[in-house]
Amino acid sequence: MRTWAFAVRRGRESASFGRVTEPLGRVLVVDDDEVIRQLIAVNLQLEGFEVETAVDGQDCLERVGEVRPDVITLDVMMPRLDGWVTAGRLREDPATSHIRVVMITARAQEHDIRRGHEIGVDAYVTKPFDPNVLIQTVRKLAAVSR
């Protein structure tokens, strides 16, 4: 855990730890693993995003209307409702179809990536991932959605 946080701070030359006056956007981080969920959330908050979290796909769908995120980071393998079904429901609903979705998963086979594209996710990041790559991906998607 300490190594990841250190790598994020050390690896970003353009990062600033000063006070952010205007948030970069709102992100809903969805992962059933509390440690991963909090690591993603903290790194995005340090970057200047407003961050909310959800523990699984069902929790995401229940909260998305109130949170109104620009971007959702979504784990694939979760209880109750997995990331595939969640992403599909987000895309089917006119109220949420515009939200940018980043799938974050250890499932890196070609058919998994293809499935994500077929569902309509905007980006696919495989675990273990470089936090800088995730941050840059979220930054780009948040800028597009604003």
Q: What is the DSSP string of 90-142?
A: HHHSTTTTTSEEEEEES---HHHHHHHHHHT-SEEEESS--HHHHHHHHHHHH
Which residues form the domain of 123? 24-145
Q: Is residue 77 part of a domain?
A: yes
**What CATH number should be reported for the domain holding residue 111?**
3.40.50.2300
Answer whether residue 4 shows pLDDT above 50.
no
In the chain, % helix, strand, coil (3-state, to 5) comes to: 50, 15, 35
CA distance 94 to 47: 30
Tokens of 145: 């959605």
Answer whether residue 14 shows pLDDT above 50.
no
pLDDT bin (cut points 50, 70, 90) of residue 128 is: confident
87 in Cβ contact with 64 (< 8 Å)? no
Output the CA angle 33-144-19, nearest 5 degrees. Answer: 70
Q: Is residue 15 part of a domain?
A: no
Which percentage of the chain shows pLDDT scores above 90?
66
Residue with more model confidence, 119 or 106: 119
Q: Is residue 34 part of a domain?
A: yes
Mean pLDDT of 44-54: 96
Q: Is residue 102 part of a domain?
A: yes
Answer whether residue 138 shows pLDDT above 90.
yes
> What is the domain count for the chain?
1
CA distance 53 to 30: 6
Q: Is residue 17 part of a domain?
A: no
To the question of pTM greater than 0.85 for the whole model, the response is no
Q: Is residue 81 part of a domain?
A: yes
CA distance 2 to 71: 26
